[in-house]
Amino acid sequence: MIHPPEYTLVSHVSTLNSVLPPLLKSEVLAIDCETTGLDPLTDSIKLMQIAVPNHPVVLIDLPAIPQSHRALLKKLLGNSALKIAHNAKFDWQFLTQARLQPNGRFFDTQLAYQVLNAGIKTSASLQNVTAQLLHIQLDKTQQMSDWHPPFTQAQLRYAAWDAAILLQLYPILLKKLKQAKLFKIAQLEFRCMPVVAQMELNGMLFDLSQWQILGAKLEAKKTTALQQLKQLHLAGNAQMSLLPELTDTINPNSPQQVLAALQAMGIDLKSTNQKDLIPLAQEYPVIQALLDYRHLSKITTTLTDSLPQHIHPKTGRIHPNYYQLGARSGRFSCRHPPLQTIPRDPAARNCFIAAPGHQILTADYSQIELRIVARLSGDSRMRQAYRQGSDLHRLTAALVTGKPISQVTQEDRRLAKAVNFGLIYGMGAAKLCIYAEIKYGVTMTLAAAKAFRKRFFHAYSGVAEWHETIKRAYIRGTKESRTLAGRRRKWASQPRLAEMLNHPVQGLNADINKLAMAKLFQPLAETNAKLICIVHDEIILECPETMIDQVSHILHNCMVAAAQKFLSPIPVVIDIKASNTW
DNA sequence: TCAGAGTGCGCC
DNA sequence: AAACGGCGCACGCTGA
């Protein structure tokens, strides 16, 4: 049983300066902040809590301490002690905005818990983590209370608990991480945390007027597409003597109604998703019209209206939330808005712009997943291809079509791309047909897909063997997977084979990208360039025009070093572009 | 009426 | 024997 923590409330400079010196000697510092709200750009800290072992928790009424008297506090937060926090990104952002940026090493109890439980559905709230690891039920009733002095006893007790409990969680999580051989991965996450926190604060500059022009165009196209769809539907039903009014009663956004309508037109369909519709688009104009409408509807509803709502009134920029462990694979997820799903269409991406005197620097890993497969499988043909700097998609095209590389057409290459990406994750012939059509506009018969599949694994026999190794683990009933960097994904029940084939690749991609980010933190801080977005294998900076060369160099070096650590001897290629827009 | 599963699709 | 993976969001629909 853990006793309620003692605490000292500091609401005066003199108390602060007598209370802080012993804390300066501590190797660990547990930190928590109570704020006026959740937005570090507009809200502020009302109370900050600092806990060190064998000492009452220090509760600082921050607004009561003038900026000019925070030197000692600043020194404490900036020292080399290990800073422990739950969801440290939040506290880092608020403290940074208060000119109290924490420094040194970090231990985020939330990230630690998420690293340990990657793949398992579980809440990583402080309340749940504490319940699971310490069997203590934290009272969170004060969390949303009005943090305004004079603080109530209940508020102060709650605040003290939140910081004190971190000191209890830390050794338990540390031990678990080490036992599970996950400490290194956790440290990678901890190193990434300030980078992510700063990236969110930076945000992306967005050209609203250009976006609205684009939106209006898309809206008009959508209307046209809908009219076209209705006309074709009517025409299709004319011979069947259905009532014209029926067309107007059908909701084009309802898969159920659309399916019924298409079936009534005599089209043999089981579902109205892309994969079923695309093969019929040539034959039935109404289906092409539906696909066109769907596409435009998707873009307009999810982006045209929503993106402008995320422009921050204070900065004029878009500041999404990135979740370091938002994906089971170890990848980031991104929300509010999801900048990782902005269409590749330049018309859309050009609306993300650089500030005056700046440029957008985008750097992405070239074919990183295939290179990872080459590394993990050790496939000799892939390794050789990459060592020679040849184009692996062309090579695959040559191998599966039997043509010499010089005669490989663009169409062949597109087909090979589908084959490469599909087959490495265990795709079957049937899905390969669909996938090739949808993703690359390549039509192939089932027999052709079967043949390609066979030739692919014959040509890349190392990949086939690598699949076999994973398949054996799968058959043994293994319920976890590790990346080369040691990241673990667990499954609560039986995984699917494809998930087990995918995780070592997608997960290592995440490891590499995170290592690159961590490496970027210090060198980037010494420039005026800012990290503004991350899209899985792409790093986007906003950089002063005068520093493009210097920053490109830094970016390149960090990304190469991060990837080489795991990919060597497979070479790493980074594509870097500078432009006025994304 | 409303939460939540399901469908569909944008990105990597 | 066969089996691509990872997200977030908007929508219509279901069921309590």
Q: Are residues A158 and A51 in the same domain?
A: yes
| A269 burial level (CB within 10 Å; 0-12, 13-18, 19+) | middle
Closest residue by Cα to the C1' atom of nucleotide C10?
Answer: A302
Q: Is the CB of A523 under 7 A from strand C?
A: no
Strand A106-108 to A488-490 pairing:
unpaired
Helix or strand run (H / E) with residue A226: helix A208-238
The tens digit of pLDDT for each residue in A480-518 reads 999 999 999 999 999 999 999 999 999 999 999 999 999
Encoded tokens for A182: 């996950």
Band (pLDDT 50/70/90 cuts) for residue A32 is: very high
Asked whether residue A295, judged by its CB, lies under 7 Å from any atom of the DNA or RNA strand B, the reply is: yes
Measuring from the CA of residue A337 to each C1', which nucleotide is nearest?
Answer: C8
Residue scoring higher pLDDT (A285 or A322) = A322
Token digits of residue A39: 């937005």
Same domain, A40 and A166: yes
Statement: the CB of A294 is under 7 Å from strand B: yes
Number of structural domains in chain A: 4
Residue with CA nearest C1 C1'?
A: A428
Domain end marker among A474, A499, A524: A499
A164 lies in some domain: yes
Joined together, the tokens standing for residue A469 give 């190794």
Tell me the one-letter amino acid at A112. A
CATH number at residue A222: 1.20.1060.10
Within a domain: residue A315? no
> Does any domain span residue A200?
no
Tell me what the pLDDT averaged over chain A comes to: 91
- Supply the pTM of this predicted model: 0.94
Provide, in whole angstroms, the distance separating residue A162's CA from nucleotide B9's C1': 42
Q: Is residue A345 part of a domain?
A: yes
| Predicted confidence band of residue A248 (pLDDT cuts 50, 70, 90) | low
Residue A277 in this model has a pLDDT that exceeds 80? no
Give the span between the Cα atoms of A375 and A382, in whole angstroms: 9
The CATH number of the domain holding residue A527 is 3.30.70.370
Residue A176, domain CATH: 3.30.420.10
Going by pLDDT thresholds of 50, 70 and 90, the confidence category of residue A238 is low
Question: What is the nearest nucleotide to A341, using C1' and CA?
Answer: B11
Residue A441: CA count within 13 A, CB half-sphere? 3
Domain that holds residue A55: 7-180
Low-confidence winner among A56-60, A276-280, A441-445, A475-479 (lowest mean pLDDT)? A276-280
The pLDDT assigned to A237 comes to 65
A500: nearest nucleotide, CA–C1' criterion: C5
In the predicted model, is pLDDT for residue A455 greater than 70? Answer: yes
CA-nearest of A430, A423, A425 to A456 is A423
Give the pairing of strands A530-534 and A538-544.
Answer: antiparallel
Q: Which residues contact A49 (CB under 8 A, 6 or more apart)?
A: A7, A30, A31, A32, A33, A34, A57, A58, A59, A60, A159, A160, A162, A163
Instruction: Answer yes or no: do A244 and A292 share one domain.
Output: yes
Question: Do both A72 and A93 map to the same domain?
Answer: yes
* C-alpha to C-alpha distance for A525 and A101, rounded to whole angstroms: 13
Rounded to an integer, the average pLDDT of A414-427 is: 88
A142 and A288 housed in the same domain: no
CB A10 within 8 A of CB A59: yes
Residue A195 structure tokens: 């980078």
Instruction: Tell whether the model's pLDDT for residue A433 goes beyond 90.
Output: no
Amino acid at the residue A95: L
Q: Is the CB of A427 under 7 A from strand B?
A: no
A427 Cβ within 7 A of any nucleic strand C atom: yes
Asked if residue A187 belongs to a domain, the reply is no
Q: Do residue A492 and residue A515 come from a single domain?
A: no
For residues A444 and A529, membership in a common domain is answered with no
For chain A, state the CA radius of gyration.
28
- Listed as ranges, the nucleotides of chain C within 7 A of a protein C-beta are 2-14
Give the sign of the dihedral formed by CA A82, CA A514, CA A344, CA A340: negative
Residue A147 corresponds to which amino acid? W
Confidence band (pLDDT; 50, 70, 90) for A442? Answer: confident
Euclidean distance between CA atoms A537 and A360, whole angstroms: 16
The last residue of a domain, from among A476, A499, A522: A499
Would A196 be classed as within a structural domain? no
Q: Are A360 and A555 in contact (CB under 8 A)?
A: no
Up-side HSE of residue A58: CA atoms within 13 Å toward CB? 26
Judgement on whether residues A489 and A355 belong to the same structural domain of the protein: no
- Sorted by sequence, the CB contacts under 8 Å of residue A505 that are 6+ apart come out as A369, A372, A373, A376, A424, A425
Residue A141 and residue A226 in one domain: no
Band (A247; pLDDT cuts 50, 70, 90): low
Amino acid at A32: D
Same-domain status, A38 and A139: yes
**A94 shares a domain with A162:** yes
Work out if A343's Cβ lies within 7 angstroms of strand C: no
Q: What is the CATH number of the domain that holds A400?
A: 1.10.150
- A376 part of a folded domain: no
A15 and A161 housed in the same domain: yes
For residue range A522-550, list pLDDT tens digits in order: 999 999 999 999 999 999 999 999 999 99
DSSP A39-73: -TTT--EEEEEEE-TTSPEEEE-GGGS-GGG-HHH
Within-domain flag for A29: yes
- C-beta separation of A44 from A94 below 8 A: yes
Q: Which of A459, A476, A499 is a domain's end point?
A: A499
